[in-house]
Amino acid sequence: LCPGFIALLVLPLTSCSGTHSALDPAGPEAANVAQLFFVMLAGGVVIWVGLVAALIYSARKKREHSEESAGRVILWGGAVIPTIILCALLSYGMWLMPAIRPWVPDDQQVRRIEVTGEQFWWRVRYLDEAGETMFETANEVRIPVGEPAHFSLKAADVIHSFWVPSLGGKMDMIPGRTNPLTLTADREGTYRGVCAEFCGESHALMAFTVRAVAPDEHEAWLAERRVSGSQDAEGLAIFLNNGCGACHAISGTPANGRIGPDLTAFGERTTLAAATLRHTAEDIARFVAYPGVIKPGVKMPHFGMLPEDDIKTIAAFLKELK
Ligand code: CUA
């Protein structure tokens, strides 16, 4: 075997660990998905080995002109036994399904995180038990570790799909519907999520993160995020004068646009443009100047015509926004 071929064989294994793998589960829902995969794989291997063995055996028998015996092996090895195994796998899959997709009815009074897929980012709203919005953010979700997080998944324009491989199965986001999904993280960490349904030019640039933190830290964060902090007045003035507030909201300021991502407390985020760029002043400035170059198809217009100093001031303002 040439080294290239071996490299090709093991290539898929490189994605088997880390914060972006369905085979490296970080919670019970994801563990069920991984278990389903391995059981299906084992069943597939048994069928494949059995079929090949039946084929070789019957070819030999045929050469020995023992047609009747060859036919029997083909019938059992090629049809009856695979059918039994496939039925067993199907029953197992259907039995496991409720555990993979725990369902919490809409009228049940639980805290939810409403995530809306939009071209090409994620609107995130934290709802209280009564279903009222506590606050809104984008592209980065926080959940308490060890507790089920209930998501209400929606779409604003076309079909998207919400998928955090380390935390569970994917769930489509369909315009006009709300799909429930429950995910639990057993250990602290930041897990990468992606859009798993082709939704337009920048579908591949529509990622997000889910950060699981200790429950008391999460509560403190929720309480703190309900009040807005201070920000640099010059940066805010340039932001407002250039009309940024028509599309983006920053709580506690006149910026109250609802079209684009809510930028309240943008300074605490770790990525930019739906996990496409780094959260640095340089990357923020690049995005503000030419968003459509970085993410084809975004609704945000270019601001490259502004004086460079203004773009830099806006970027610095957003980078530190509390
Ligand atoms: Cu959104 Cu693909």
Residue extents of the structural domains in the chain: 15-100, 112-217, 233-319
Q: Where are the alpha helices (DSSP H) in 134-232?
A: 215-225
Retrieve residue 69's tokens. Answer: 């015996």
Which atom of ligand 1 lies at the shortest distance from residue 200's CA?
Answer: 2
Ligand 1 within 6 A of CB of 199: yes
Helix/strand number for the chain, H first, E second = 9, 12
Which atom of ligand 1 lies at the shortest distance from residue 197's CA?
Answer: 2
CATH number of 112-217: 2.60.40.420
Ligand 1 within 6 A of CB of 198: yes
Ligand 1 within 6 A of CB of 173: no
Q: What is the CA radius of gyration of the chain?
A: 26
Which atom of ligand 1 lies at the shortest distance from residue 119's CA?
Answer: 1
Q: How far apart are the C-alpha atoms of 135 and 127, rounded to whole Å?
A: 8
Distance (angstroms) between ligand 1 centre and the Cα of 187 equals 27
Is-above-0.90 flag for pTM? no
Give the residue whose CA is nearest to atom 1 of ligand 1: 160
Same fold yes or no, 112-217 and 233-319: yes
Does ipTM surpass 0.85 in this model? yes
Residue 201 burial (CB count, 10 A):
13
Walk along the chain (322 residues) and give the pLDDT tens digit of each residue: 677 777 777 766 665 666 678 888 989 989 999 999 999 999 889 889 988 888 888 888 878 877 777 788 878 877 888 899 899 999 999 998 887 777 777 777 889 999 999 999 999 999 988 888 888 999 999 999 999 999 999 999 999 999 999 998 899 999 999 999 999 999 999 999 999 999 999 999 999 999 999 999 999 988 887 666 667 888 899 999 999 999 999 988 888 899 999 998 898 899 988 888 999 999 999 999 999 999 999 999 999 999 999 999 999 999 988 8
Residue 75 burial (CB count, 10 A):
13
Query: If you write DSSP's letter for every residue of 84-139 in order, what string do you get?
Result: HHHHHHHHHHHHHHHHHS----TTS---EEEEEEETTEEEEEEE-TTS-EEEEEES
Q: How far apart are the C-alpha atoms of 24 and 321, rounded to whole Å?
A: 35
CATH fit for domain 233-319, picks 2.60.120.260, 1.10.287.110, 2.60.40.420, 3.90.1170.50: 2.60.40.420
